[in-house]
Amino acid sequence: MNAPVLVKLGGSVLTRKSEERHARPKVIDRLAGEIAEARERGSRALVLIHGAGSYGHPQARQHHLAEPAFDAASRAHRPRGAALTSISVRDLHRRVVRALLDHGVPALSLPPFPRTFNRAGELEAASREDFLRVLEADAVPVTFGDVVLDRDWGYSILSGDTLALALAPALGSPKAIFVSDVPGVWRPGAPGRRAVAPLLDEALLQSLNPLPGAPDVTGGIRRKVRVMLALARAGVPAGLVNGLERGRLFQALQGDESKGSWARPGVAEIPRAADPREPPGG
């Protein structure tokens, strides 16, 4: 078995994040078809992760699941918030897995809950064993950003990007592809004058500002770029490509890295500083 390429389908491309529980069924179906076509043409083994988008973020935000349980009252409401977030995310997960199956991809669901734990909003560890067993059985493991048990807070959010950072190096992935609703990471600039940054580095990360818009309890673009740079430092090239552009995911799976934004091993770095604007857990 060759090492799998990791694909993270962002919630922003699978759903309309400004409208609660609003999936993009045509986009989901097309992306599933591109994955199926790449597999038919001999692409490497795959591990798929998807985000929650408008199926998980509103509930998690309402119940403060990306924050500590400050007191007994907030902890008492946390189980209900976790349950509501969990069932919403699984509604989207079923859509994604069903689309893959409809296109002939042997997609097998591997939910993080209850096998994965956080501590104070941070992932303790993600085991690769279940993923290896599914891959060795010639299927495609599919997991997702989820609400998980937290040893300090009771429950907290485990994002798909955090899972990607834990799993890709552990599985020896030759590449990680993040699929979003934008052509790549925009260089800072005036509206109408921005351009996509083809290469990501620490200087660009520190220049990024949080974007206005729909709530995102997983840290938004700053968190994603930080994860991609961390993957590159771990030896896994990571790219952000536009899933709303027909064929872009297929091309990336076939080795075309001419579009999007990429973090590559050996990229020049400048010292990192902690960012207080990022929520715990990512």
Domains present along the chain, CATH in parentheses: 5-263 (3.40.1160.10)
CA gyration radius for the chain? 18
Q: Per-residue confidence at 209, pLDDT binned at 50, 70, 90?
A: low
Sequence-ordered list of residues with C-beta below 8 angstroms from that of 82, at least 6 positions apart, any chain = 63, 65, 147, 154, 155
Output the pTM of the full model: 0.89
Beta strands 122-125; 117-119: pairing state: antiparallel
SS3 107: strand
Sheet containing strand 154-158, edge to edge, reads 122-125, 117-119, 146-150, 154-158
**Do residues 228 and 265 lie in contact, with contact meaning Cβ atoms separated by under 8 Å?**
no
Cα dihedral 112, 113, 118, 122 in deg (nearest 10): 40
Q: What is the tens place of the pLDDT at every residue in 39-77?
A: 999 878 999 999 999 998 889 998 999 999 877 777 888
Give 148-201 pLDDT, tens digit per residue. Answer: 999 999 999 999 999 999 999 999 999 999 999 999 998 877 566 778 999 999
Q: How many Cβ atoms sit within 10 Å of the Cβ of residue 141?
A: 23
Neighbour-count burial of 266, counting CB atoms closer than 10 A to its CB (0-12 exposed, 13-18 middle, 19+ buried)? exposed
